[in-house]
């Protein structure tokens, strides 16, 4: 049975832009852009996966199969 995102218990940490830039060189880092597809198409961080916020709960296990990987989720400041 697939777990929903809400059922996965994680410790969440907020990163500063500086901290994120330091981590971008780590190829094992998974970047997730939760903006709508239209916004993602207009621009995103290289290597980021688009997983719109509205689909996050239903598609997270499909798109992000490695729950042990370090995952950074980002969005626009008004989202």
- Residue 75 annotated as catalytic: yes
Active-site option among 20, 49, 71, 75: 75
- Supply the Cα-derived Rg of the chain in whole angstroms: 13
47-75 burial, b at 16+ Cβ within 10 Å, e below that, comes to ebebbbeeebeeebeeebeeeeeebbbbe
Which residues belong to the active site?
Answer: 75
């Amino acid at each position: 049975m697939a777990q929903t995102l809400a059922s996965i218990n994680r410790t969440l940490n907020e990163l500063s832009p500086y901290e994120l830039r330091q981590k971008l060189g780590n190829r094992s880092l998974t970047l997730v852009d939760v903006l709508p597809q239209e916004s993602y198409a207009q621009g995103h961080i290289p290597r980021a996966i688009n997983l719109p916020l509205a689909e996050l709960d239903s598609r997270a296990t499909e798109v992000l199969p490695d729950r042990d990987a370090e995952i950074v989720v980002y969005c626009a400041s008004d989202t």
